[in-house]
C-alpha cells in the first residue's frame, strides 16, 4: 500500500479534509490506483529481469537462445540406452 501512500501524499490538504468529511471516497479511489500502480511496477520489474538469462523466467530461455542463435552443445535427441 506504499504506492497509495505516495499518491495520497501528492493530494493537497484541502481535498484530504473534504474527503474526510465526505466519507473517504477519494482515499478509497487512491488505494485502488495505488494497488494497480504496484502491480504495474512489479510487472515492469519482471520484464526487466527477463532481459537476462541469469534472472529470466524459464519460458524466456528458448526465446533468448533464438535471439542469440545459440546452438545446443550436445544433440538433444533420445538418450542412449545403457549397455
Question: Cell for 49?
Answer: 529481469
Q: Is pLDDT above 90 for 80?
A: no
Q: What is the mean pLDDT of the chain?
A: 90
Percent of the chain past pLDDT 90, that is, above it, reads 72
Do 37 and 30 form a contact (C-beta atoms < 8 A)?
no
Where helices occur in the chain by DSSP H, the ranges are 2-10, 13-22, 25-49, 61-67
pTM to 2 decimals?
A: 0.64
What is the tens place of the pLDDT at every residue in 10-62? Answer: 999 999 999 999 999 999 999 999 999 999 999 999 999 999 999 999 999 98
The string over 32-45, giving b where at least 16 C-beta atoms fall within 10 Å of a residue's C-beta and e elsewhere, is eebeeeeeeeeeee
Q: What are the domain boundaries of the chain? A: 2-67
Amino acid at each position: 500500500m506504499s504506492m497509495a501512500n505516495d499518491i495520497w501524499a501528492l493530494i493537497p490538504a484541502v481535498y484530504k479534509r473534504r474527503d474526510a468529511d465526505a466519507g473517504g471516497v477519494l482515499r478509497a479511489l487512491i488505494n485502488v490506483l495505488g494497488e494497480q500502480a504496484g502491480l504495474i511496477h512489479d510487472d515492469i520489474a519482471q520484464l526487466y529481469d527477463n532481459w537476462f538469462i541469469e534472472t529470466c523466467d524459464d519460458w524466456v530461455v528458448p526465446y533468448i537462445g533464438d535471439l542469440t542463435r545459440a546452438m545446443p552443445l550436445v544433440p538433444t535427441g533420445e538418450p542412449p540406452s545403457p549397455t
